[in-house]
Amino acid sequence: MAKLILTHEVTGLGEPGDVVEVKDGYARNYLIPRSLATPWSKGAESQQTAIRKARKAREIATLDEAKATADALGAKPVVVKAKAGESGRLFGQVTTGDIAGAVAEAGGPSVDKRKIEIGQSIKTTGDYKVSIRLHPEVSAKIAVKVVAL
């Protein structure tokens, strides 16, 4: 078992700054090469506290604030413009970064693209539902309308 400090959020494993124990192969072949975690050491404790402090500054502080943000996000649909062919099929697909940019452009709060969950890949124009994790207890569902440029 390898002991690691997570540097990014890993679904099902933990948040940045968490110390986790995973199997050696998972650490060696997936987490460390993708810079999702660093090996744990006694000297890395200061790095862990810096990661936790940065995470606290970025995340929404209270449950009430998260609920208010969720209501604001759900109030109006977000329009994402993408290049598409005549049949409505996109050249590529809509990413979480595209959605985060569209939310900010529509006047919504800044949303971390890593907190956006797309249920299915968006490869055609139309209306979609996307979930944004704002707080461990609050998730906002927003309507995303994909239109051709």
For residue 26, the domain's CATH number is 3.40.5.10
Looking up residue 108, the CATH number of its domain turns out to be 3.10.430.100
Rg (CA), the chain: 18
**pLDDT tens-digit profile of 50-99?**
777 776 766 656 777 778 888 878 777 889 999 998 888 999 899 999 99
Nearest CA among 125, 128, 131 for reference residue 11: 131
CB 103 within 8 A of CB 116: no
List of long-range contacts for 62-65, beta carbons under 8 Å, 24+ apart: 63/135, 63/137, 63/138
Domain that holds residue 123: 63-148
Number of domains in the chain: 2
What's the rounded Cα separation, in Å, for the pair 124 and 88?
6
Q: Indicate the pTM of the whole model.
A: 0.64
